[in-house]
């Protein structure tokens, strides 16, 4: 049999996925076509439809954050411009589904993230709703395609605090990890 | 004036604006990455359409999912309709359809209802 030079790394990857109960992992750019495939996969999860919809909504917001704001960007023929690269996984434990994203962020964004998430995690449902509505009324920001509502929406859809971390790598680049949970029983 | 329509695709909604019946509908999923660009012709058509006073308009939202970026576009549409009703002698009814058990979609409708002064019907359907 021909020797497969990368078989070891695939085995290692598989072991990591199994060990962490990761049912879906994607690294790279996230186009709308990829989202379609993810949607099909989520719809096969054994749970209520409303939970699948929540998971899909979270995946979309996280993937589109990566698309627009990841500091690591590659040129895309399809879009005719540079788009963001990152990693996204769906895993689960006994009580929750966990959607996790990872991407490099600019030094400027890294500074904001901590205070922003601390604030969001403090708010109750009613306060989150009011904040969402307040931000939604604001005009579109210059040169930013998003609505600046993604993190608030994630916090609301999740019903749990948002877990996050910024790791600084050997090149002093900031890698932002965000983990959002959805309860299996609503 | 011409009617306006966009066929649905996996991440864009079906849009049907009928200038003769004054029934405007948007249905399905909306998670385009660049909603400013996607909705630009929608707003252009609406601006033109709302230039004539006194229409009785029914706007039907039948969404199953939309992203936060589309969420702001929908508010902008509702604001245009509110302004039309207030300043152009119009009469606008919003029908917000949601799947019976979809609490998130019902809440979305309620939040729009709170933000604009228009006749707003929240209508559950079963699939």
pLDDT at residue A123, rounded to an integer: 97
Q: Got the DSSP string for A62-73?
A: HHHHHHHH-SSE
pLDDT at residue A2, rounded to an integer: 59
* pLDDT score of B68 more than 80: yes
Tell me the H-state helices in A98-176: 107-122, 125-137, 150-158
Is CATH 3.90.1170.10 correct for A7-183? no
B-chain CB neighbours of A149 within 8 Å are 68-69, 71-72
User: Comparing C-alpha atoms, which of B103, B34, B121 is closest to residue B72?
Assistant: B34
Does the distance separating the beta carbons of A129 and B31 come in below 8 Å?
no
Size of interface A-B (CB pairs under 8 A): 67
Does the distance separating the beta carbons of A61 and B67 come in below 8 Å?
yes
User: Comparing C-alpha atoms, which of B81, B40, B68 is closest to residue A133?
Assistant: B68
Does the distance separating the beta carbons of B34 and A53 come in below 8 Å?
no
- Split at pLDDT 50, 70, 90, the class of B127 is confident
A91 and A19 in contact (C-beta within 8 Å)? no
Q: Which domain holds residue B16?
A: 4-125
pLDDT at residue A172, rounded to an integer: 92
A65 and B40 in contact (C-beta within 8 Å)? no
State the Cα–Cα distance between residues A152 and A131, nearest whole angstrom.
8
Q: ipTM of the predicted structure?
A: 0.94
B43 touches chain A (CB under 8 A): no
Distance of CA A184 to the CA centre of its chain: 19
* Structure tokens given for B55: 């229409």
Does the distance separating the beta carbons of A140 and B104 come in below 8 Å?
no
**In chain A, what are the domain boundaries?**
7-183
pLDDT at residue A3, rounded to an integer: 63
A22 and A89 in contact (C-beta within 8 Å)? yes
Residue A120 has phi, psi (to 5 degrees) of: -60, -40
State the Cα–Cα distance between residues B18 and B3, nearest whole angstrom.
5
- Print burial letters for B20-41: b (CB count within 10 Å at least 16), e (below 16): eebebbbbbbbbbbebeebbee
B-chain CB neighbours of A64 within 8 Å are 31, 33, 67, 69
Does the distance separating the beta carbons of A147 and B69 come in below 8 Å?
yes
Locate the chain B residue with the closest alpha carbon to A30. B33
User: Comparing C-alpha atoms, which of B70, B66, B9, B11 is closest to residue B42?
Assistant: B70
pLDDT in tens, B70-103: 999 999 999 999 999 999 999 999 999 999 989 9
User: Comparing C-alpha atoms, which of B87, B38, B33, B63 is closest to residue A61?
Assistant: B33
Locate the chain B residue with the closest alpha carbon to A63. B33
pLDDT at residue A146, rounded to an integer: 78
CATH code assigned at B33: 3.30.750
| Number of domains present in the structure of chain B | 1
Interface residue of B68, B112, B124 to substitute, partner A, most A CBs within 10 Å: B68
- Print burial letters for A124-133: b (CB count within 10 Å at least 16), e (below 16): eeeebbebbb
Does the distance separating the beta carbons of B10 and A36 come in below 8 Å?
yes
Per-residue pLDDT in tens (0 to 9) along chain A, 186 residues: 556 666 678 889 999 999 999 989 999 998 877 888 888 888 887 778 889 999 999 999 999 999 999 999 999 988 899 999 999 999 999 999 999 999 999 999 999 999 999 999 999 999 999 999 999 999 888 878 777 899 999 999 999 999 999 999 999 999 999 999 999 987
């Amino acid at each position: 049999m021909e020797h497969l030079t990368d078989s070891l790394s695939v085995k290692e990857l598989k072991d990591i996925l199994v060990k962490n109960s990761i049912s879906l992992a994607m690294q790279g750019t996230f186009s709308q076509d990829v989202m379609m495939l993810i949607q099909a996969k989520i719809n096969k999860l054994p749970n209520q439809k409303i939970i699948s919809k929540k998971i899909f909504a979270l995946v979309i917001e996280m993937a589109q954050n990566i698309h627009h704001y990841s500091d690591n960007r590659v040129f895309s023929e399809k879009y005719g411009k540079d788009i963001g690269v990152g990693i996204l996984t769906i895993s689960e434990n006994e009580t929750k589904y966990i959607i996790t994203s990872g991407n490099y962020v600019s030094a400027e964004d890294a500074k904001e993230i901590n205070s922003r998430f601390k604030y969001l995690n403090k708010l109750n449902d009613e306060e989150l709703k009011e904040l969402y509505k307040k931000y939604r009324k604001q005009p579109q920001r210059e040169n930013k395609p998003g609505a600046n509502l993604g993190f608030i929406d994630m916090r609301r859809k999740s019903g749990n605090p948002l877990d996050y971390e910024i790791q600084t790598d050997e090149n002093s680049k900031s890698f932002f990890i965000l983990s959002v949970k959805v309860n299996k029983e609503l | 004036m011409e009617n306006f329509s966009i066929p649905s695709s996996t991440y864009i909604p079906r849009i049907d604006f009928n200038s003769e019946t004054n029934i405007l509908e948007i249905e399905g999923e909306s998670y385009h990455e660049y909603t400013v660009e996607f909705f630009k012709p929608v707003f252009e058509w609406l601006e033109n359409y709302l230039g004539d006073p006194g229409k009785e308009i029914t706007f039907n939202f039948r969404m199953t999912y939309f992203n936060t970026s589309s969420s702001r576009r929908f508010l902008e549409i509702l604001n245009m309709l509110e302004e039309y009703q207030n300043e152009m002698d119009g009469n606008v009814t919003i029908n917000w359809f949601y799947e019976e058990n979809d609490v998130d979609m019902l809440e979305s409708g309620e939040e729009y209802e709170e933000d604009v002064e228009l006749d707003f019907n929240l209508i559950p359907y079963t699939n």
